[in-house]
Amino acid sequence: MLNVVSTKTGGKATMSAKNGSIKLVAGNSNPALAQQVSAALEIPLTKASVRRFADMEIFVEILENVRGSDVFVIQSTSYPANDHLMELLIIIDALRRASARRITAVVPYFGYARQDRKVGSRAPISAKLVANLITHAGADRVMTLDLHAGQIQGFFDIPTDNLYASPVMVRDIREKFDLTNVMVVSPDVGGVVRARGLAKRINAPLAIIDKRRERAGESEVMNVIGDVAGFTCILIDDIVDSGGTLVNAADALLANGAKEVYAYLTHGVLSGGATARVANSRLKEMVITDSIQPTDAVLAVKNIRVLPIAPLIAEAISRTAAEESVSSLFD
């Protein structure tokens, strides 16, 4: 049940925030997700023109009055990350100049999140730079989903809500599996907190993959920490990019006696030959959300399934607009 105020005006249902009307603006990164959020909230997408000139410069024009409105811009900064990020910044600037009362950047997939620390003496912290760009463009709030590193919330100097896909995943896992024979597995040491949180929700044991990466884009599974023999294993992570980590992890788990291996991921980046790698792997099924719009190649793979994340985002938007708690969604 969405916690928004609904009124009837001229025979049409409208929704209003606590201090003004709600407007939804969509960029071009994930129009399907924006449409689903719009349908869940029963609010039409604001008419806007987001197009490119002949030299590929981005031009944005808001075609409705947004003065005094509570505006939510739905735009993942997925591939091509730079184009979608620039779209987001220009949309925010256009809304600010159009006198929107409050602008919330809803960024389900926050690109550059893996560049959250210096990896060398003269390396950038690109996630902080992107946070600064969004803030200075004119955003008043940010809403994102399963940030790669929780500390990125602190990169923003404006309120930031980091949503979690775990309730959606837990609901699906409860429907699909016999929980008495399930073991949750973290594909690397860095993801233990995330995997432990989901394991606790379904009262399942936890195992960890000890992984050593020789070079970027490649991974080698070295050791399984925990007894997985006879269990249906569920790998939990935030991002799947090349897919190499998950494929190698599945092989290691099966070699250690696991019955079957599934994977639940929030963001299906799936770059390069990832789809073919997953299709030819020993993973029984890989489940991703639609925080990044799945390509036709992804949808064609039989062992990849997509979970809709729009209901969670819509509920978070409605609570933000009504000045209600968002964190209580995950209690």
Active centre residues (catalytic)? 211
| DSSP conformation letters of 191-236 | GHHHHHHHHHHHT--EEEEEEE-SSTT--EEEEEES--TT-EEEEE
Contact present, 124 and 131 (Cβ < 8 Å):
no
Distances in Å between the alpha carbon of 8 and those of 12, 22, 24, 33?
Answer: 6, 15, 19, 26
Distance in angstroms (rounded) separating the CA atoms of residues 165 and 23: 24
| DSSP conformation letters of 285-331 | EEEEEBTSPPPHHHHT-TTEEEE--HHHHHHHHHHHHTT--SGGGG-
DSSP 8-class letter at 283 = -
The one-letter amino acid code at 236 reads: I
Distance in angstroms (rounded) separating the CA atoms of residues 146 and 316: 14
Angle at 117 between CA 111 and CA 123, to 5 degrees: 95
| DSSP conformation letters of 40-82 | HHT-PBPPEEEEE-TT--EEEEE-S--TT-EEEEE----SSHH
Kindly report the number of other CB atoms within 10 A of residue 181's CB atom: 12
To 10 degrees, what angle do helices 166-176 and 192-202 make?
Answer: 50
Contact present, 129 and 173 (Cβ < 8 Å):
no
Indicate if the alpha-carbon torsion angle 236, 237, 243, 246 is positive or negative.
negative
Distance in angstroms (rounded) separating the CA atoms of residues 34 and 25: 8
Contact present, 242 and 263 (Cβ < 8 Å):
no
